[in-house]
Amino acid sequence: MGKYFSFFEQISLYSNILYTLISSIRFRTRVKLTLVKEVNILTKSDYMAEKILKEVNILKSKKILHPDDSVENVLLNHGETKEWADVFWRRRYQHENRSDPEIDLVFETSPTSVLEIGTGYGRILKKLDKERQRKKLSTKLFGIERCKHMESYFLLFKKQQPSLSDVEIYYENFFRSKQFRKRKFDVIVLPMNTFPSFHSKLDLLFRTVKNYLSEDGLFIFTSYKIPQNRTKEERRKGKYSGELLVEEEKKPILLEAFRFTETEGPYGIETVTYLIYYRFFEYYSIHKKYIYRLEHFVPQKNQIEKIITENGYKVKFFNDESHSLVFGCQTI
């Protein structure tokens, strides 16, 4: 007879499995890996390749990467991949308790249209839909998401809330959108601290948003607050974490993450993270391994204000009472 595990038993079971897996992978003596050498969407310049080589060597010395791993195996297109969509979807239960302070601000001006940039599997759109119903507004909701693999997850999500059926999501890159050419939105929202991930394209972000904002339209975004309790020493140390993502009737994914030392740049804290995904066959034998490199940037209030004014916008409101810095701005 099958045994039923309670929620806490499952957590404990999974953490034991995770521990065993990470230990066996770290000291890989017997594990045969299939390394993924996909063609990168971004080509690596010589300078970048040299930087990555140094990082890869550090990760090898820490036994986070295998001696056979090479710069060639490091992928730079994380945001568009199936790995990203699968992991974000598998984290949906963790997201359930998240508060999203930007939601309250979206409907303050009773907008007729709202566009969310980077919809993921539709978590925020679901909240916006509930809010427009609560306020008895007929606001039309739109979304744009560059990761096409999110679409099937949005469809699953929509089944739980059929009123999402009039929401239009376009699966393409916001900067290269063909769908929105002549459209204008009263509110454009970029939630869940996604703003800093556009670190190298902030000018383009503000320029593109301007093209799609109606007159007096509002651009709302949130950005990370630097935890006050982290010492300089802690920020200098690299940070390792591991996570086992289990989904009913699907193959498990093990995610290892290593964040390199944070440095102080002109627009805030800068850092590089490596995400290593192991996809398993059933019974936890490794099927494929993917290594992704991500650059991060965490600007703070005065730095964001500077970016806003440099790009021809003014701050309409600001709030830092929640876990995030919340900005609402308008073009000048």
Ligand X SMILES: C[S@@+](CC[C@H](N)C(=O)[O-])C[C@H]1O[C@@H](n2cnc3c(N)ncnc32)[C@H](O)[C@@H]1O
Q: Give the one residue of 111, 120, 196, 268 binding ligand X; rule: CB under 6 A.
A: 120
CB atoms under 10 Å from CB of 8, counted, come to: 8
Residue 99: CB atoms within 10 A of its CB come to: 10
One-letter amino acid of 327: F
Task: Let me know if 151 is exposed, middle or buried by CB neighbors in 10 A (0-12, 13-18, 19+).
Answer: middle
The H or E element that residue 94 is part of is: helix 92-95
Segment near ligand X (CB under 6 A), from 112-120, 223-231, 275-283, 317-325?
Answer: 112-120
Among the listed ranges 58-66, 144-152, 214-222, 299-307, the one in contact with ligand X (CB under 6 A) is 144-152
CB of 301 vs ligand X, minimal distance in Å: 20
Q: Which contiguous run of DSSP H or E holds residue 154?
A: helix 151-160
Both tokens of 11, joined, read: 């957590």
Closest residue to ligand X, judged by C-beta, is 118
Residue from the set 66, 132, 146, 293 that interacts with ligand X by CB under 6 A: 146
Among 83, 145, 262, 270, binds ligand X (CB under 6 A): 145
Residue 220 or 291: which CB sits closer to ligand X?
220
- Considering only 89, 153, 154, 174, the residue that binds ligand X (CB under 6 A) is 174
Stretch that binds ligand X, among 49-57, 131-139, 169-177, 211-219 (CB under 6 A): 169-177
User: Of the two residues 72 and 172, which places its CB atom closer to ligand X in the complex?
Assistant: 172
Query: Least distance from C-beta 330 to ligand X, angstroms?
Result: 21
Please name the residue that has the structure tokens 């759109």: 125
User: What does the DSSP 8-state code read for residue 195?
Assistant: G
Report, in Å, the least distance between residue 179 CB and ligand X: 12
- Using the rule CB under 6 A, is 65 a contact of ligand X? no
Residues linked to residue 325 through DSSP beta bridges, in sequence order: 223
| Alpha-carbon distances, residue 98 vs 75, 86, 232, 310, 325 (angstroms) | 30, 19, 28, 32, 15
For residue 119, state whether it binds ligand X (rule: CB under 6 A). yes
The least distance separating ligand X from the CB of residue 196, rounded to whole angstroms, comes to 10
**Residue from 33, 60, 79, 161 that binds ligand X (CB under 6 A)?**
79
Residue 75 in the binding site for ligand X (CB under 6 A): no
What's the token pair of residue 193? 């601290």
User: CA dist 260 to 28, 47, 56, 237, 292, Å?
Assistant: 23, 18, 11, 7, 14
Q: Does 101 bind ligand X (CB under 6 A)?
A: no
Strands 113-117 and 140-144 come out as parallel
Closest CA to 304 of 327, 330, 321: 327
Nearer to ligand X, 147 or 255 (CB): 147
User: According to CB under 6 A, which one of 144, 291, 298, 308 is a site residue for ligand X?
Assistant: 144
Q: What number of chain residues touch ligand X (CB under 6 A)?
A: 17
Please, which residue, 120 or 242, has the CB nearer to ligand X?
120
Asked if 124 touches ligand X (CB under 6 A), the answer is yes
Q: Is 265 in the site for ligand X (CB under 6 A)?
A: no
**280 with 171: CB under 8 angstroms?**
no
What's the rounded Cα separation, in Å, for the pair 91 and 244?
11
Instruction: Report the candidate in 136, 135, 134, 143 with the shortest Cα–Cα distance to residue 113.
Output: 143
Is residue 173 within the footprint of ligand X (CB under 6 A)? Answer: yes
In the chain, count of helices (H) and strands (E)? 10, 13
- The one among 194, 300, 303, 331 contacting ligand X by CB under 6 A: 194
Rounded to 5°, the CA angle 115-121-122 comes to 40
Closest distance to ligand X from the beta carbon of 124 (Å):
5
Q: Which residues bind ligand X (CB under 6 A)?
A: 79, 117-120, 123-124, 144-147, 173-175, 191-192, 194
